[in-house]
Amino acid sequence: MRYKMQTAELIWEIKNNIEKIGRSLKVIEVCGTHTVSIYKNGFHTLFEGYIDFISGPGCPVCVTHEGYIDRLVELSSEWTIYTFGDLLKVPGSSKSLSQARANGGKIKVMYSPVDAVEHLENNEKVIFAAVGFETTAPAFALSLEKVIEKGLKNVKFACELKTIDEPLKSLLQNHIRVDGIILPGHVATVIGVDSFKFVEGFKVASVISGFEGYDILLSLLSITQDILNEDFTVKNEYKRVVKKEGNVIAKGYIEKYFERTSAFFRGLGLIPGGGLKIKDEFREYSIDMSYDNTKQKDSLCRCADVLTGKIKPFECPLFEKVCTPISPKGACMVSQEGSCNAYFRYGKWKGR
């Protein structure tokens, strides 16, 4: 029986370990679903003074450049854009996809790209907005395979898929010093425990975590024990799903259709090897999405600093004043999994 501690005992044990360490800890999570779980369960207040939680760049919507949105808006006059709902309200430099749709742009929300392909007709001109990390990449690889099988000639993929390892390396090398990392459970489901071995070189306690409140607590216990024992090997708390080698079939699909490329991450800039693009042999299914990633819309939005842990959401001048989930000004407020959005809904900050 691995799980023998009751919740209260677990919380006590975590705090006790931190008292033994003798200082408060900085813990970063790099998955939006973890962000929501931490705030929703009130762990940021429960461990106040013990753990400072930082939300890293692990929500694909939050790190997407506005130039990508602008290209999709532009293309939506001629092509039907299939997108996940998460992307709809992300501000472009002039319009979001949602606003473009209101102005007559052809934009459809999909639940699954694989299901969407099954319902496409031969002559439909469709672009799939392929956004996500390695969890989502196999879904787009399967969709591309189905497009090829069906012989659809007018279907393209606007590939903006991301990988987790390179941005995480950049974050740990150049941006932030943390004591512990809660690693993304569903990315790990695909790429496996071994793909995170590189984290060990940073001498940081790390653990692959599930998403329930109890999972987060077990992961925090693991981080505090590892700091006490100076053990920096990657741990896997999400054993019920994540395997050492990950999902070999899913990884095979990614390797068959995609290859590494540079990718822009809000807060981190251009990361070599941080993205996936469609391989040359399948380039007829790819659409050119190049945009100038050096240009940023002039805005007071501090999303980039939030994503790298430099400031808390409430320290942004726009937060709660003009930037809210109903009228978001930045990507971290747009996404249900963004740290500003989670902070707005479940957070506690001065003056409230």
Partner 1 sequence: MCLGYPAKVIEIFEDKKALVEYLGVKKMVNIALLKNVSIGDYILIHSGIAIEKIDQKEAEEIEKLFGEVQDANS
List interacting residues with partner 1 (CB under 8 A).
1-3, 6-8, 31-33, 41-42, 59-61, 84, 86, 111-115, 131-133, 135-136, 138-139, 142, 184, 186-187, 189-190, 210, 212-215, 217, 239-243, 247, 249-250, 253, 335, 337
Q: Which is nearer to partner 1, 27 or 38 (CB)?
A: 38
DSSP-assigned letter for residue 94: S
Q: How far is the CB of 81 from partner 1 (least distance, A)?
A: 17
Beta-carbon contacts of 108 under 8 Å, excluding residues fewer than 6 positions away, are: 80, 81, 82, 83, 116
Q: Which is nearer to partner 1, 136 or 298 (CB)?
A: 136
Q: How far is the CB of 224 from partner 1 (least distance, A)?
A: 18
Q: How far is the CB of 60 from partner 1 (least distance, A)?
A: 5
How many other CB atoms sit within 10 Å of the CB of residue 44?
18
Residue type, 225: Q
Q: Which is nearer to partner 1, 102 or 248 (CB)?
A: 248
Beta-carbon contacts of 161 under 8 Å, excluding residues fewer than 6 positions away, are: 130, 131, 132, 133, 136, 137, 140, 258, 275, 276, 277
Q: How far is the CB of 318 from partner 1 (least distance, A)?
A: 23
Asked if 172 and 204 count as a contact pair (C-beta separation under 8 A), the reply is yes
At 136, phi and psi to the nearest 5? -90, -25
Q: Which is nearer to partner 1, 15 or 243 (CB)?
A: 243
Q: How far is the CB of 203 from partner 1 (least distance, A)?
A: 27
Locus of tokens 């053990």: 231
Q: Using N-to-C axis directions, what is the helix angle for 137-150 and 248-257, rounded to 10°?
A: 60
Alpha helices for 151-259 (secondary structure H): 165-170, 185-191, 213-229, 248-257
At 62, phi and psi to the nearest 5? -70, -30
Q: Which is nearer to partner 1, 245 or 315 (CB)?
A: 245
Asked if 148 and 22 count as a contact pair (C-beta separation under 8 A), the reply is no
How far the first Cα of the chain sits from its last, in Å, is: 43
Q: Which is nearer to partner 1, 21 or 142 (CB)?
A: 142
* Exposure b/e, 119-154, CB count within 10 A at least 16 = b: ebeeeeebbbbbbbbbbbbbbbbbbbbbbeeeebee
Q: How far is the CB of 268 from partner 1 (least distance, A)?
A: 17
Residue type, 284: E
Q: How far is the CB of 335 from partner 1 (least distance, A)?
A: 8
Q: List the one residue out of 302, 293, 296, 306 whose CA is nearest residue 329.
A: 302
Q: How far is the CB of 180 from partner 1 (least distance, A)?
A: 19
Locus of tokens 């469709």: 126
Q: Which is nearer to partner 1, 133 or 344 (CB)?
A: 133
Q: Which is nearer to partner 1, 215 or 226 (CB)?
A: 215
Q: How far is the CB of 298 from partner 1 (least distance, A)?
A: 27
Q: Which is nearer to partner 1, 133 or 157 (CB)?
A: 133
Locus of tokens 């969890």: 135
